[in-house]
Amino acid sequence: MNEALLDADCGPREALGVKLRQLRKARGWTQEDLADRSAYSPTHISAIETGRKPPTLRLSRDL
């Protein structure tokens, strides 16, 4: 999904993806940086941020 078209007014999965991206960017991290600090691959983080995959309960709590 195009980042420009994804907003927090979408469904809950997409809204959480938007929030994850905002938090990550606020820290100045790339998806690779977040992957290095978590148990997730950059591909998985991308899929969560774009609403293609739901976040795990563990990731949701860690946010």
- pLDDT tens readout for residues 17-28: 999 999 999 999
pLDDT tens digits, residue range 44-53? Answer: 999 999 999 9
**Cβ proximity of 12 and 51 under 8 Å:** no
User: Domain 12-62: what homologous superfamily?
Assistant: lambda repressor-like DNA-binding domains (1.10.260.40)
Q: Across all residues in the chain, what is the average pLDDT?
A: 85
Question: What's the Cα-to-Cα distance from 55 to each of 4, 28, rounded to whole Å?
Answer: 21, 21
Mean pLDDT of 26-50: 95
Q: What is the pTM of this model?
A: 0.76
**Cβ proximity of 11 and 52 under 8 Å:** no
Reported as a pLDDT band with limits 50, 70 and 90, residue 61 is confident
43 Ramachandran zone, left/alpha/beta (phi>0; psi -120 to 50): alpha
Q: In this predicted structure, what is the pLDDT of residue 10? A: 78
Domain residue ranges of the chain, discontinuous segments joined by +: 12-62
